[in-house]
Amino acid sequence: MSETLPQAVLTAADVSAVTQLVLRERSGRDLGLWEQMRDCFHDDSRVRLSWIDASGPEFVRRSQEMAARNVQASHRLGPVMVTMAGSRAIAQLSAIIDIPLALQGVEVLLSSHARFLFRAERRREVWRVAAFDAVYQRDELHCPVPGETINIDRSLLSRYRKPYRLLAYCLELNGFPVRDDLAGGDRPDLVARISSEIYGWAGLQSPQ
């Protein structure tokens, strides 16, 4: 059947499948639908985010553990841009990661702004995530309840890089150490490196 369809139609179907894959994986994470989330990853996939560098299945397992410890992130997602390369694809989107926490007994909301980079691969006619990376841009922290305030340990905060310093501060206080070598707006060399790796994996020239 597919042999009779124009290439543009087949490409559009693949773009839609990759887009839905990304949205299904993120909604699985936000809603605690762990089997749905797990089904989105190839077994040999790799996830490199602020608090983890592991396989996709291990990422799902540890995300479930994180949620059980009441560190529950939700995601505000921008439009997904998909670049096709045969049976491989790159999906990019902006995201804001919201994490409600308690610091010093005060309710706070941490919001981390990032660009998500998914690599998807079609195997046996099924698209799944082959890799998931992020480029961190900035973050912010506020008290949702008017009139409440918190004091930040400035000496501790100064240890972290600016694009994700509040994210690192809050996660580390909750037992999730954050790496110092993440791609971020303050390190264009690392952004260029990860872009070259991702596009090279797809056999494409990096735009960076």
Each residue's pLDDT tens digit, 129-151 = 999 999 999 999 999 999 999 98
Each residue's pLDDT tens digit, 53-95 = 999 999 999 999 999 998 889 999 999 999 999 999 999 999 9
How far is Cα 152 from Cα 169, in angstroms, rounded to an integer? Answer: 9
Cα-Cα-Cα-Cα dihedral sign, residues 70, 171, 39, 113? positive
The average confidence (pLDDT) of the chain is: 94
The mean-pLDDT minimum among 83-87, 110-114, 123-127, 204-208 falls in 204-208
Each residue's pLDDT tens digit, 116-133 = 999 999 999 999 999 999
178 contacts: CB under 8 Å, gap ≥ 6: 50, 51, 160, 164, 167, 168, 171, 172
How far is Cα 145 from Cα 60, in angstroms, rounded to an integer? Answer: 32
Q: According to the model, what pLDDT value does residue 3 have?
A: 62
Indicate the helix (H) or strand (E) that contains 155.
helix 154-157
Average pLDDT of the segment spanning 5-23: 93
Domains, in order of start, for the chain: 2-201 (3.10.450.50)
Cβ atoms of residues 200 and 194 within 8 Å: no
Provide DSSP, 43-59: EEEEEEETTEEEEHHHH
